[in-house]
Structure 1
Amino acid sequence: MAALKDFLKADDIQNALDAVKAEGSFDHKKFFALVGLKAMTPDNVKKVFQAIDADQSGFIEEEELKFVLKSFAEDGRDLTDAETKAFLNAADKDGDGKIGIDEFEVLVHEV
């Protein structure tokens, strides 16, 4: 499995993590833009999805979302329960309680 640092610049990852250091400050749109995901092709976004999907189930479940920042860097903080739920609600368009690969790609490129 490819590591996120293979797709993203280390400086961008650090800047994005610094922007969401404080609990309650995670905003997926801002984070995706800062980390460089928004500018990626749909294919590369899907590769990033696969790196975040820790159990390789084809979905990012709520438990994986909580640790999403650790996917980008080991010292990334855990998302709060409120941040995790807001992130899940923003992405989960079909209401199944998890984020599919297509839902993730749509979320990343949302304006």
Structure 2
Amino acid sequence: MAMKDLLKADDIKKALDAFKGADSFDYKKFFNMVGLKAKSAEDVKKAFKILDVDNSGFIEEDELKHVLKGFSSEGRELTDKETKALLTAGDKDGDGKIGMDEFAALVHE
């Protein structure tokens, strides 16, 4: 499954275009713009599984760096600063990675 099977391609493109500049990424606005915030818990789980590239059950820092590419191959890599900010926002238990429940909470913030 790909994100375009879950979300509208136009919404993904608009959201990616809005955050093209380095250090411009705002996860709250991004998840809202792509339509993920309005999706069901089941769809958010599907999105998590797409972003969990190594199927570890967690989205680790390296996967977070490429999170926009998980929405579209045309997405850019997050800067180190953006990656750290996203990890800090999502990692509620302090284990250095984002689990499915943490991801769902992040999306719905």
1: distance between equivalents of 2:7 and 2:98? Answer: 21
- Structure 1: which 4+ aligned runs deviate by more than 3 Å? none
Superposed counterparts of 1:1-111, under 5 Å:
2-110=1-109
Gaps of 5+ in 2: none
Cα deviation, residue 70, structure 1: 0.5
- Once the two structures are superposed, residues 11-52 of structure 1 have per-residue CA deviations (whole angstroms, 9 ceiling, x without a partner) of 000000001000000000000000000000111101000000
Cα deviation, residue 60, structure 1: 0.1
Cα deviation, residue 75, structure 1: 1.3
TM-score, with structure 2 as normaliser: 0.99
Across the aligned residues of Structure 1 and Structure 2, the Cα RMSD in angstroms comes to 0.5
Cα deviation, residue 4, structure 1: 0.8
2: distance between equivalents of 1:75 and 1:6? Answer: 16
- The letter for the 2-side match of 1:53 is D
Gaps of 5+ in 1: none
- Once the two structures are superposed, residues 61-84 of structure 1 have per-residue CA deviations (whole angstroms, 9 ceiling, x without a partner) of 000000010111111100000000
- Once the two structures are superposed, residues 65-111 of structure 1 have per-residue CA deviations (whole angstroms, 9 ceiling, x without a partner) of 0001011111110000000000000000000000000000011011x
2: distance between equivalents of 1:105 and 1:77? Answer: 22
TM-score, with structure 1 as normaliser: 0.97
